[in-house]
Amino acid sequence: MSETPNLSLPFLAPSQAQKHVTVNEALMRLDALSQLTLVSRAIAMPPNTALEGECYGVPPGAAGTWAGHSGEIAVRSNGGWVFAVPRAGWRAWDASAGQVVVHDGEGWIVPPSAGMPGDAGLRLASEVTECSVSAGGAQGLPVFIPAEAMVFACSARVTEDLGASLTGWSLGTQAEVTKFGAGMGPLSGSYATGLLGTPQTFYDGAQVWIAPEGGDFDGGTLRVALHLIRVDLPAA
């Protein structure tokens, strides 16, 4: 065995030269993973501005130096990236979502807000996604309301201008493009609270859509958050 079984910290080898290199690598991993904070679980492209020791949950479809590491933790180290495979039971603070997440062996989940014996539970979650908006008209975003989820709100903030000529934009679903708001400003910093007057259960799930008002989108980016409740069934 050349490394520890849980955190993959490298062991020193007998008569090893430059022992400090191995020790420093182990300390760096321990420093990053022992009180784990994930800057984001939604960013697919490695950020050039990441600080030493910052950790990211690598999402599906990650690109660049994160390609092939989906589901792992990317740790900024010496200007590059090292990766750790999370195990069932690991807990982390998701800074972008403002919530604690737990790894269940397959992915990060929000722990039940209320749990009962037999795995039954109630989950209150806010799930954040970084979205690129294509030039043109109304379009679906890579934000999906899961089936059998009760939605309280879908909020959004413009992080890169959507188009200076627009009079506004709306947020909703393909069936109702203004469900979560209309008339929001197209410039960076504008936002939609997206709070529903009555929570709605989406039994079949749905995709979140954005639509321009007074013209077409030039492009831009949004940060979108779903705020919802899901139910965990009792174990079979």
Could you please report the per-residue DSSP string of the chain?
--B-TTT-PBPPPTT-SSHHHHHHHHHHHHHHHTT-EES-SS--S--TTPPTT-EEEPPTT--GGGTT-TTSEEEEETTEEEEE---TT-EEEETTTTEEEEE-SSSEEPPPSEE-TTS-EEEEEEEEEEEEPPSBS-EEEEEEEPTTEEEEEEEEEEEE---TT-SEEEEEESS-TTTT-S-B--STT-EE--EEEEEEEETT-EEEEEEEESS-B---EEEEEEEEEEEEPPP-
Question: Rounded to whole angstroms, how far apart are CA atoms 34 and 27?
Answer: 10
- Report the alpha-carbon distance of residue 108 to residue 36 in Å, rounded: 13
- pLDDT tens for each residue of 212-236: 999 999 999 999 999 998 887 787 7
Pairing label, strands 195-202, 149-160: antiparallel
- How many whole angstroms separate alpha carbon 163 and alpha carbon 160? 9
pLDDT tens digit at each of 236 positions of the chain: 687 676 767 777 777 788 777 777 777 778 678 889 999 998 889 999 999 999 999 998 899 999 999 999 999 988 999 999 999 999 999 998 888 889 989 888 877 665 556 666 777 887 888 899 999 999 999 999 999 999 999 999 999 999 988 999 999 999 999 999 999 999 999 999 999 999 999 999 999 999 999 999 999 999 999 999 888 778 77
**pLDDT value, residue 194:** 96
Strand partners, 128: 225
Query: CB under 8 Å to 236, separation ≥6 — which residues?
Result: none
pLDDT of residue 23: 75
The reported pLDDT for the residue numbered 115 is 56
Among 121, 143, 123, CA closest to 133: 143
Per-residue confidence (pLDDT) for residue 225, from 0 to 100: 92
Residue-level pLDDT at 118: 60
Cα-trace Rg, the chain: 21
Q: Return the pLDDT at 96.
A: 86
User: Within 13 Å of residue 126, how many CA atoms lie on the same side as its CB?
Assistant: 17
Phi, psi of 18 (to 5 degrees): 50, 55
User: Which tens digit of pLDDT belongs to each residue from 112-147?
Assistant: 665 556 666 777 887 888 899 999 999 999 999 999
**pTM for the model:** 0.61
Structure tokens given for 222: 């949004």
